[in-house]
C-alpha cells in the first residue's frame, strides 16, 4: 500500500538524491507531497511564507523521509520539519497524526564512513555506530527508543536496525533498491500513535 510521503533534505547538498528517491518510488511517486525540481523557488520569500508552504505539503503525509547528509545541520528547516511531522495537527476538524520517519544516509565519495562505523564488542558481536553529532538532537532522541526494548542479541543488548528505533537509518543504496520496504516499516511504527516507542516531539 502506498503512503503519502515528504522528503526533508538540505537543498544544495541533497537535491540529486531527492530526485533519485522520487524516481525510485515509481508509480507511488504520485503520493509524494514535497518539493520537486518543478517546485517554485521560495528562497527570497518570508520565513512565514516558507513555513506555510511546508505545512501545506506536510499536513496530510504519513511518512517523512529525512536525507542524512554531511552538512544537514546547516539547514534552517530540517529539524523544524521533523518536529512538525511528529505532532498531531488539526485543521478544520481533521487531524493529521504523527508521521513515520526513516533516515536515508547519503553516500559520499562512494561510501558511508563519513557517518557510520563498526565496532566489535568483547563478546564478538559486530555493532554499527553513528557519528551522532552530525544530526539534530530531535533525530538522536528518537533513536533506540523502542519501549519496551526488544534485543536482537541478549548478550550485547543490540536492537534491530529497523524496529529498535523510531527513526531507522538506511543507506542510500539499500533504500533506493526497495523504498517501499522502508516506507512501510516507518508507517507501521507510526500506527496507534506510535505505540511501542517513547517519542521526543520537540526540537
Is the model's pLDDT at 40 over the cut of 60? no
pLDDT at 158: 86
Q: What is the mean pLDDT of residues 36-46?
A: 57
For 70-86, the pLDDT digits (tens) are 999 999 899 999 998 99
CA distance 66 to 183: 11
Is the model's pLDDT at 195 over the cut of 80? yes
pTM for this entry? 0.90
CA distance 38 to 99: 25
Is the model's pLDDT at 92 over the cut of 90? no
DSSP 138-197: HHHTTSS-BSS--EEETTTTEE-TTTSSSEEEEEHHHHHH-HHHHHHHHHHHHHHHHTTB
Is the model's pLDDT at 50 over the cut of 90? no
pLDDT at 55: 72
DSSP 88-129: -EEETTEEE-PPEEEEEEPPBTTBSTTTEEEEE-TTS-EEEE
Amino acid at each position: 500500500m502506498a503512503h503519502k510521503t515528504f522528503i526533508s533534505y538540505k537543498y544544495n547538498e541533497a537535491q540529486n538524491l531527492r530526485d533519485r528517491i522520487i524516481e525510485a518510488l515509481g508509480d507511488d511517486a504520485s503520493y509524494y507531497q514535497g518539493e520537486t525540481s518543478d517546485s517554485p523557488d521560495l528562497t527570497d520569500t518570508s520565513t512565514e511564507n516558507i513555513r506555510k508552504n511546508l505545512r501545506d505539503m506536510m499536513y496530510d503525509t504519513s511518512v517523512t523521509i529525512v536525507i542524512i547528509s554531511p552538512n544537514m545541520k546547516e539547514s534552517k528547516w530540517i529539524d523544524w520539519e521533523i518536529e512538525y511531522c511528529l505532532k498531531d495537527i488539526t485543521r478544520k476538524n481533521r487531524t493529521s497524526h504523527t508521521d513515520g520517519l526513516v533516515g536515508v544516509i547519503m553516500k559520499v565519495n562512494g561510501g558511508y564512513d563519513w557517518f557510520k562505523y563498526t565496532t566489535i564488542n568483547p563478546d564478538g558481536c559486530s555493532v554499527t555506530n553513528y557519528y551522532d553529532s552530525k544530526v539534530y538532537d530531535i533525530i538522536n532522541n528518537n533513536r533506540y527508543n523502542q519501549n519496551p526494548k526488544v534485543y536482537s542479541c541478549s548478550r550485547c543488548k543490540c536492537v534491530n536496525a529497523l524496529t529498535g528505533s523510531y527513526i531507522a537509518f538506511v543507506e542510500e543504496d539499500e533504500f533506493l533498491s526497495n523504498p517501499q520496504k522502508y516506507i512501510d516499516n516507518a508507517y507501521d511504527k507510526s500506527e496507534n500513535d506510535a505505540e511501542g516507542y517513547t517519542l521526543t516531539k520537540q526540537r
